[in-house]
Structure 1
Amino acid sequence: MGNLQKEKPLEVDQKGKFNRQKNSFTTPFGSNVGDLPVEVGRYRLLWSPVCPWAHRTVIVRRILGLEDVISLGTASPMRPNIPRVDWEFSLDEGGLDPVLGVQYISEVYVNADPEYTGRPTVPAIVDIQEKKVVNNDYFRLTNYLETAWAPFHKENAPDLYPEHLRAEIDELSDGIFHNVNNGVYKCGFARSQEAYEEAYDSLFNYLDQLEERLSTKRFLFGDYITDTDVRLYATLARFDVAYYSAFKANRNMIVDFPNLWGYLRDLYQTPGFGDTTDFEAIKVHYHLSNHIASDDQKSKNILPKGPDTSTLNTPHGREALSGKEEKFLIPQK
């Protein structure tokens, strides 16, 4: 498989801090010279339901009605038992993605760059004809779906990235990424007590700020869901079932934050969010996968029974903050 990593890359600095690898395929979608062309049926989105970065892309794809425009390939929540970090299509018949005919996601990375040395990550947008990954920029991918792919949005698709709020959305999303989305990984993959405690404090200090922000706003920017809510949801949904224990992010569970807990239930009960959330896969991945779970073989083979995720369907009362039932801003034609 070319120069791919043969074992889990630590991505840890000398102080024990986790530093996530940079994305390698970042050419934007658009109509400018050099952009990736926006075409129906040309691309396949590869994901695994366990990955928060991939999940938020799938949420936006569904909300905007792009499911018949960009196809979806699903990798197993378990890493393959081979001496490298990868994602495998073991859930599909014959162990191959039915459209691309590949067994491992690494194959489309090597097809794109035979010298690729990083981890093959999801989400990955693949050119179906060439079987090459063309974009794995999880940080900007939802924004491309919201803007460059607008000609193919369903009728009356919501505006998740309103132009007049983009600077503010980007700023808040950046803070959420460093302190919460990636913050839980900084806790879980820290290799020193100092690095862990620094990440832990940043994570919960920021969650406290968000708890306060959501005391007066139904969603992060007021009455309607935006791209930033999608980004935060992907971490909050995994927090109590995975990060709290597996990543030692254990000052509080989300259920202990009155506003964040109500906010999470509000989003979970929104089409596109809860119906794309697979808690069984998430628990299997974070608690049983070799690259994440404890080195203690006895504990690694036990899947936690709790928490009770059915409580996400209980009434949340968040509509009182907006005075309306609707959650999406529909752009005026």
Structure 2
Amino acid sequence: MGLLIDGQWHDHWYDTAASGGRFERQPSAFRDKVGDRGFPAEAGRYRLYVSYACPWAHRTLIARALKGLEDALPVTVVEPLMLENGWELAEGADPLEGARFLHQLYTRAKADYSGRVSVPVLWDSQTATIVNNESAEILRMIDSAFGALASGPSLYPEDKREEIDAINAWVYDAINNGVYKAGFATTQAAYEEAVTALFAALARVEAILSERRFLVGDQPTEADWRLFTTLIRFDCVYVGHFKCALRRISDSPVLFAYLRDLYQVPGIAQTVRFDHIKTHYYASHRTINPTGIVPLGPDIDFTAPHGRG
């Protein structure tokens, strides 16, 4: 865990002292888009750097699978363990730049970059730079910017965008980022504030899904997939490691059936790697789990019938 300061790597954990013990996420720095001038949509031109462990990167892997872009948009996967050098790449894993650490890509794109080094990263091999490192924007690029290279229905249909955006806003704040607000909190008050908001939002999701199969309409949209990447990690990581322990997702008939419904969509199970997820959280966050011991379990069957037809 660390960050770059003027292009130099520093092994620093998050500083919550100035925010009353609250975790505050840094905005993404690279915000260009495929389809903008200088970044045309071309098969094989771009590469996606991801972690199977990271929920933000996971949403882009899901979009890539659903849109049939596996061949047009190749992927490099970082190692699950993230310690003093940040995200690492196995020797020979990076066919473009030969990087061993993800922060090397950031400084190749911007030599004096300052900030956290995160996944996903959308890299342009022709200009040797980062196009974008904001997962929400990369997800939408994968959905719509690759034109005829992509297939399948839109994850962000035009007639549902207002409702999707509204749901995304509170799901992101209270649930996607809420588990991190709880897990990285350094005061009791900040932790309880985050956990209370988290479970209130989960109850709100449960109420919606008691009335309909998916969050918006009768087909999964990006709102569902953005929520899915948090829910699939919840019982195996966030309940214990991040102390989000009021209730498990598997204790809710509605949420657990919904989670299984999404998991069983063709192509999705292959994007879920619990070995990477558990190793990353439990073994990397030594401030939270100093021993680095990765717990066994829980034993959950996501392939069981969900009954949400």
> Equivalences for 1:123-142 in 2 at 5 Å?
123-142=120-139
Partner residue in 2 for 1:78: 81
- Separation in structure 1 between the aligned mates of residue 72 and residue 52 of structure 2, nearest angstrom: 20
Q: Percent identity?
A: 41
Instruction: Return the letter of the residue paired with 1:304.
Output: P
Is the counterpart of residue 257 in structure 1 residue 262 in structure 2?
no
> Equivalences for 1:187-202 in 2 at 5 Å?
187-202=182-197
Partner residue in 2 for 1:152: 149
Partner residue in 1 for 2:45: 42
Is the counterpart of residue 226 in structure 1 residue 221 in structure 2?
yes
Q: Does the Cα contact within 8 Å between 1:219 and 1:225 map onto a contact in 2?
A: yes
Partner residue in 2 for 1:114: 111
Is the counterpart of residue 16 in structure 1 residue 21 in structure 2?
yes
TM-score scaled to structure 1, two decimals?
A: 0.87
- Separation in structure 2 between the aligned mates of residue 112 and residue 316 of structure 1, nearest angstrom: 45
Query: For 1:58, which of 53, 58, 61 is the aligned residue?
Result: 61
TM-score scaled to structure 2, two decimals?
A: 0.93
Q: CA deviation at 1:6?
A: 3.0
Pairwise CA RMSD: 1.7
Q: CA deviation at 1:35?
A: 6.4
Q: Secondary structure at the match of 1:247?
A: coil
Query: For 1:27, which of 27, 32, 53 is the aligned residue?
Result: 32
Q: CA deviation at 1:290?
A: 4.0
Is the counterpart of residue 318 in structure 1 residue 308 in structure 2?
yes
Structure 2: gaps (5+ residues): none
- Separation in structure 2 between the aligned mates of residue 140 and residue 5 of structure 1, nearest angstrom: 27
- Separation in structure 2 between the aligned mates of residue 41 and residue 11 of structure 1, nearest angstrom: 41
Q: CA deviation at 1:167?
A: 1.5
Instruction: Return the letter of the residue paired with 2:148.
Output: P
Q: Secondary structure at the match of 2:240?
A: helix
Q: Does the Cα contact within 8 Å between 2:20 and 2:190 map onto a contact in 1?
A: yes
* Matched residue count: 304
- Separation in structure 1 between the aligned mates of residue 211 and residue 294 of structure 2, nearest angstrom: 38
Q: CA deviation at 1:18?
A: 0.6
